[in-house]
Amino acid sequence: MRKIRLALAGAGMRGRTYTDYALAHPEQFEVVAVAEPVAHKREYIAARHHIAPEYCFEGYRELLEQPRLADAILICTMDDLHFEPAMKAIELGYDILLEKPAAPTAQQCAAIMDAAQEKGVRVIVCHVLRYTDFYAAVKRVIDQGLLGDILSVVHTEAVGHIHQSHSFVRGNWRRSDETAPMLLAKSCHDLDLIQWLIGKRCVQVQSFGALSYFTRAHMPQGAPERCIQGCPHAADCCYDAVKLYLKDENNHWFRNVAGNKVNPSNEEIEKALWEGPYGRCVYQCDNNVVDHQVVNMRFEGDTTVAFTMAAFNQGGRHTRIMGTKGELNADMRRDSIELFDFQTREIKQISTAGQEIDGSIRDGHGGGDSGIMQAFYEHLNGVYHGNALGEIVTSCTNHLIAFAAEESRVQNTVVDLDAYIDRVRAQR
């Protein structure tokens, strides 16, 4: 099979994850160009992949001013910097692995899917859950017809209270006006997953939700703006930044993000806690995204779905799928899938074991990070035979469920999806 030459736009957490896969699979991929404004991140990727200096750029604009330098581009910039590079890369004929969300507005999502279709390039949005062994096993049960006709689904995304505090209170995705509403930023995976599992079109959506807890109203008396200023409540506060970022030296994810580099020193973390967003008291941030939300959906054939996203839990995903022949209970955190068969009235454990891809980076999103890279490689070589890949039209249409649900939450309405999509297209 043909080795795929990759360009990387955005050498942050996600960019490093995908290019690490390339490094571990030199027979599949070669990273030949990088665009990243932060010098030490750009140099890190350049050194790991032996990228020539003339193929290192200070931003995606400079990279995309060049004629096409690679077969495909990984767009791993932040949410508000997906649209421009995606449209330019499509124009240049790059195939694209595009981080989610495809774009922060419904109109931009529609524009990307139309442009990709017109140009005939392949754009895959990083809905990594589809590529996990766990949800592949759930999908197999459904496709084998063991549940019969699916009539009802209850799906929960338990974000985890600490994850919420890190990403959606202190961190990058705390403000819907800067990145995207919570449903798009966090739960676009779940809305995509539900639609993929059911295999039907969503026709109506309704939502409620609020930011209830991570607000100034819940600030304990006398808490300083930054935990490191000697908060009198530190010992009892599970969100104490000193504990989470400085003392827990094994939490590489949090430390790398707070320090904005790979393996920052304790001095660098301390400086970040004094100066950066991750040092702030969780009750005194400028966050505005919800910390709990429900979405009710009606799919074709009157399949009903209730989805809940909430911060107040340990974390994990749970999916209960109820069909005319059986019921499936999938608990991702416990790696457990149970199938109750109506005929036999027996409960069967479904194996989640899948194909071993690469032990070292298999952990990322339950194997989804390596799974999507493997699928992307096979897809670009025309030999992908799985059922997980979602083309850009499917991903963007599923994003539109999130936008419509957000409209419902804010305007207190029930949104008809077809009418919503027509309205979005007319506004382009």
Ligand X SMILES: NC(=O)c1ccc[n+]([C@@H]2O[C@H](COP(=O)([O-])OP(=O)(O)OC[C@H]3O[C@@H](n4cnc5c(N)ncnc54)[C@H](O)[C@@H]3O)[C@@H](O)[C@H]2O)c1
Q: Which residues bind ligand X (CB under 6 A)?
A: 9-15, 35-38, 41, 59-60, 76-79, 81, 99-100, 126, 128, 365
Smallest gap, in angstroms, from Cβ of residue 405 to ligand X? 18
Instruction: Give me the residue label for tokens 């019921």.
Output: 327
Taking the least distance from each CB to ligand X, the nearer of 78 and 219 is 78
Smallest gap, in angstroms, from Cβ of residue 366 to ligand X? 10
Taking the least distance from each CB to ligand X, the nearer of 30 and 36 is 36
Distance in angstroms (rounded) separating the CA atoms of residues 75 and 91: 15
Residue 422 tokens read as 């027509």
Smallest gap, in angstroms, from Cβ of residue 186 to ligand X? 9
Could you give the angle at the alpha carbon of 247 between the alpha carbons of 242 and 250, nearest 5°? 125
Taking the least distance from each CB to ligand X, the nearer of 280 and 326 is 280
Taking the least distance from each CB to ligand X, the nearer of 10 and 181 is 10
Smallest gap, in angstroms, from Cβ of residue 422 to ligand X? 28
Residue nearest to ligand X according to CB distances in the complex:
12
Smallest gap, in angstroms, from Cβ of residue 199 to ligand X? 22
Taking the least distance from each CB to ligand X, the nearer of 14 and 292 is 14
Distance in angstroms (rounded) separating the CA atoms of residues 346 and 343: 8
Smallest gap, in angstroms, from Cβ of residue 390 to ligand X? 13
Strands 414-416 and 72-75: unpaired
Count CA within 13 A, CB hemisphere, residue 402: 31
Smallest gap, in angstroms, from Cβ of residue 327 to ligand X? 28
Taking the least distance from each CB to ligand X, the nearer of 150 and 280 is 280
Taking the least distance from each CB to ligand X, the nearer of 11 and 109 is 11
Question: What does the CA dihedral 103, 105, 110, 116 come to, rounded to 10 degrees?
Answer: -20
Residue 75 tokens read as 């767009």
